[in-house]
């Protein structure tokens, strides 16, 4: 990561649902490692309206668009019982955040044979190259330096074909100047990628995928590490970064004080890492990993009986955060 800037302003957007419970928790972790002085934001969760509201657009979707947060970066790591061991799952899913089927251009037409629904799937060279670049950049900072491109170009040869070709072209771009020459490129057809994800997750390092495949793959990967309450993400663009736990607003547990705050806390760390504050990020991640490893304090999603605030306290042992 690049050198840290001196002052940093972070907007906190708890929104609703358990977002209101997990973001204050992550705030404490942030305050423990830096003095707040918005270069970045931390987002909780929003529930979609239960009834159809005309003209409603999700605020998170609007924020991603407005701030051009074109990459959703989701690291999925299993914490081994013994810190000396290698994690059995240690991957980063880099999901394109702006196009594919999410352009939401759907139409329904009446035909002689009944209704017909169509959706537009947009893949551009520009968006595929920039997400590819993000994936190569992330791979460069990891020991294995491997990027796996996910696609279905055997069927969707034009759209997925363009995605695949554009990502493959990144290391050869003149402006890249050979920077990614040491990064190994693999590729997988999406269905076989899911199969292998469950059978041999260790084969993956950095996964780069169009929007919809990335969404599905990262939720599947979250299942491998035990709980949605553990998996962080950042929405990143070239100018702004927004941390956001992968989970939603979890209305079934809202207000009970049992939301697992670790995904939000890890999202705070990931956001710091993205801004170049590696030391602060390491301190938060180490504290979180220690709490998971010990297993003494755990919320019900992990089989424990602890409350959100007890998990927060456990992550704040003086050695870990304040040293």
Sites of contact with ligand ATP (CB under 6 A): 17-18, 22, 45, 47-48, 228-229, 247-253, 259-260, 263, 299, 301
Nearer to ligand ATP, 50 or 82 (CB): 50
Residue with tokens 């800037």: 5
User: Measured from the CB of residue 10, what is the shortest distance to Mg ion in angstroms?
Assistant: 24
Q: How far is the CB of 96 from ligand ATP (least distance, A)?
A: 20
Looking only at residues 247 through 306 of this chain, which bind Mg ion when binding is defined by CB under 5 A?
248
Identify the helix (H) or strand (E) that includes residue 268: helix 262-274
Q: Which stretch binds Mg ion (CB under 5 A): 1-9, 134-142, 151-159, 246-254?
A: 246-254
Instruction: Report the distance separating Cα 153 and Cα 176, nearest Å.
Output: 26
- What is the C-alpha separation between 220 and 121, in angstroms, rounded? 22
Within 8 A by CB and 6+ apart from 143, the residues are none
Closest CB 245 distance from ligand ATP, rounded Å:
6
- In the complex, the smallest distance separating the C-beta of residue 227 from Mg ion, rounded to whole angstroms, is 13
Closer CB to ligand ATP, residue 8 or residue 22? 22
Q: Between the CA of residue 227 and those of 174, 259, 273, 292, what are the distances in Å? A: 42, 11, 23, 12
**DSSP-derived secondary structure letter, 255:** T
309 contact choice in Mg ion, ligand ATP, none (CB below 5 to 8 Å, kind-dependent)? none
Please choose, from the candidates 259, 266, 224, 227, the residue with its C-alpha nearest in 3D space to the C-alpha of residue 244.
266
Q: With CB under 5 A as the contact rule, which of the stretches 39-47, 245-253, 259-267, 277-285 interacts with Mg ion? A: 245-253
* Residues of this chain that bind Mg ion (CB under 5 A): 248
């Amino acid at each position: 990561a690049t050198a840290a800037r001196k002052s940093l302003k972070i907007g906190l957007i708890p929104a609703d649902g358990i977002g209101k419970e997990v973001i204050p928790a992550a705030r404490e972790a942030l305050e423990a490692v830096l003095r707040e002085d918005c270069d970045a934001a931390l987002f909780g969760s929003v529930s979609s309206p239960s009834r159809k509201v005309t003209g409603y657009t999700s605020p998170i979707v609007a924020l991603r668009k407005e701030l051009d947060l074109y990459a959703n970066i989701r690291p999925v790591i299993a914490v081994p019982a013994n810190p000396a061991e290698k994690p059995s799952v240690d991957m980063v899913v880099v999901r394109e955040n702006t196009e594919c089927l999410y352009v939401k251009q759907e139409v329904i037409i009446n035909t002689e044979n009944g209704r017909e629904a169509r959706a537009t799937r947009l893949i551009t060279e520009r968006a595929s190259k920039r997400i590819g670049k993000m994936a190569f950049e992330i791979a460069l900072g990891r020991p294995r330096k491997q990027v796996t491109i996910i696609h279905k170009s055997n069927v969707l040869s034009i759209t997925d074909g363009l995605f695949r070709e554009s990502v493959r072209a990144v290391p050869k771009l003149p402006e890249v100047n050979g920077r990614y020459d040491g990064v190994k490129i693999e590729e997988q057809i999406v269905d076989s990628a899911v199969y292998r994800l469950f059978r041999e997750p260790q084969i993956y390092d950095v996964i780069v995928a169009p929007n919809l495949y990335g969404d599905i793959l990262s939720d599947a990967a979250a299942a491998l590490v035990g709980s949605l309450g553990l998996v962080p993400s950042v929405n990143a663009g070239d100018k702004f970064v927004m941390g956001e736990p992968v989970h939603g607003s979890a209305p079934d547990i809202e207000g009970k004080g049992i939301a697992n705050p670790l995904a939000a806390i890890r999202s705070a760390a990931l956001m710091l890492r993205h801004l170049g504050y590696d030391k602060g990020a390491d301190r938060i991640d180490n504290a979180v990993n220690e709490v998971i490893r010990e297993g003494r304090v755990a919320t019900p999603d992990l089989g424990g009986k602890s409350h959100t605030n007890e998990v927060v306290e456990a992550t704040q042992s003086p050695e870990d955060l304040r040293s």
